[in-house]
Amino acid sequence: MKQYVTITIDGVHIRAAKGTSVLDAAIEYGICIPHLCHVPGLSDIGSCRLCIVEHVVNGKSKITTSCTLNVEEGMVILSNTEWVKKLRRNNAELLVAQAPNSRAIQDIAVRCGVKEVRYPFRNHDCVLCGRCVRVCTEMWGARAIGFVGRGNGRHVDFPLGVRPDFCKHCGSCITLCPMTITPCDGPMKIGEEYLCGKCESQLSMAEGISDTCVWCELGKGFQCARYT
């Protein structure tokens, strides 16, 4: 017997099964909270910090990631306050400054309200979202890739740097990677990066989210006018 609880997100009462994360509950109801490292069916690690919301307890707001917060009866969540938008925008800005050569990340940045990038651009080809690692570990149990190192040196690699023979080239990691979505005009020239974000994010299509957002009828997933 599944147990259900009622929570409130942005004033809307939502019924969700116990054990569901706030993010999943919100998305199911069409309230799209931006996210990057979340993949339906895989574990949530709360590393991108884009899905942050205000969790109101005893009148005080705590910022936490909605993907790691499980629903509980009477929970009050605010996903779209000025404060949350600002914090989310700043994190998105950090991401796009790190890897502007990704259509998906450019799109996330613009959708999270980034208007200008105040840091020098870098041209990294990985934002450490961990989607590839988690699909290989959890969906396939293969562990052909994983995180290695710490802090700035953290990166994704094969065991001992060599592709193991149990990697079956399934391509799941590449499909999920936000960096491998083809840039529109070709890669940006080094030293001439800029904030773009004009393209549709393929991310939402890859996840197969089909519901329309309750806030407008413009379309699917990230296509929320309220974030621009």
Partner 1 sequence: MPETTLESILEGRRSQPHQLIEVLQDVQECYGYIPEEAMKVVAEELGVPLMEVYRVASFYRAFSLTPRGKNMITICMGTACHVRGAKLLPNQVHGQLGVSAGNTTEDGLFTVENVNCLGACALGPLVVFNETYHHHTTPGKLRALIDSTREKEMEETTYEQAQ
Partner 2 sequence: MSKLNNISDLNAIRKRLRSRRDSISTVITICGGTGCQASRSQDVIDAVRKELKKQKLGRKVLVRVTGCHGFCEQGPIMVLEPGNIFYCHLKPEDASDIVTKTLLKGEVIERLLYTDPVTSQKIQIETEIPFYRAQDRQLLAQNRQLDPCSIEDYLAIGGYSALAKTLAELTPEAIIEKIKASGLRGRGGGGYPTARKWTECRDTPGDEKYVICNADEGDPGAYMDRSVLEGNPHLILEGMMIGAWAVGAQQGYVYVRNEYPLAVKHVRIAVQQAREFGLLGEHILDSNFSFDVEIARGGGAFVCGESTALMVSLEGKVGEPRPKDVHTVKDGLWHKPTTLNNVETWANVPSIILNGASWFAARGTKDSKGTKIFALTGRIKNTGLVEVAMGTSLRNIVFDIGGGATDGVGIKAVQTGGPSGGCLPIDKFDLPVDFEALYEAGSMIGSGGIVVMDEKTCMVDVAKYFLTFLQDESCGKCVPCRLGIDRMLEIITDITEGRGRPEQIDLLKELAETVAHTSLCGLGKTAPNPVLSTLRYFPEEYEAHINEKRCPAGVCQALIKYEIDDEKCKGCGICLDACPHDAIKGEKKEIHTIDQDTCQKCGICIEECKLDAISVA
Residues that bind partner 1 (CB under 8 A): 143-150, 157-160, 164
**CB crowding 186-217: b at 16 or more within 10 Å, else e:** eebeeeebebbbeebbbbbebbebeeebeeee
Is 46 a binding residue for partner 2 by CB under 8 A? The answer is yes
Number of H helices, E strands in the chain: 6, 7
Q: What track of x and - describes contact with partner 2 for positions 152 through 191 (by CB under 8 A)?
A: xxx-------------------------------------
Q: In the bound complex, what is the minimum distance in angstroms from residue 157's beta carbon to partner 1?
A: 8
C-alpha distance across the termini of the chain, in Å: 42
68 binds, among partner 2, partner 1, none (CB under 5 to 8 A by kind): partner 2
Q: Pick one of 24, 25, 65, 193: the residue that binds partner 2 (CB under 8 A).
A: 65
Burial class (CB in 10 A: 0-12, 13-18, 19+), 171: exposed
Is 74 a binding residue for partner 2 by CB under 8 A? The answer is no
Q: Where are the alpha helices (DSSP H) in the chain?
A: 22-28, 82-98, 103-111, 131-134, 172-176, 202-207
Is 151 a binding residue for partner 2 by CB under 8 A? The answer is yes
120 binds, among partner 1, partner 2, none (CB under 5 to 8 A by kind): partner 2
Residues in contact with partner 2 by CB under 8 A are: 45-50, 52, 63-65, 68-70, 86-87, 90-91, 94-95, 97-98, 118-120, 127-128, 147, 149-154
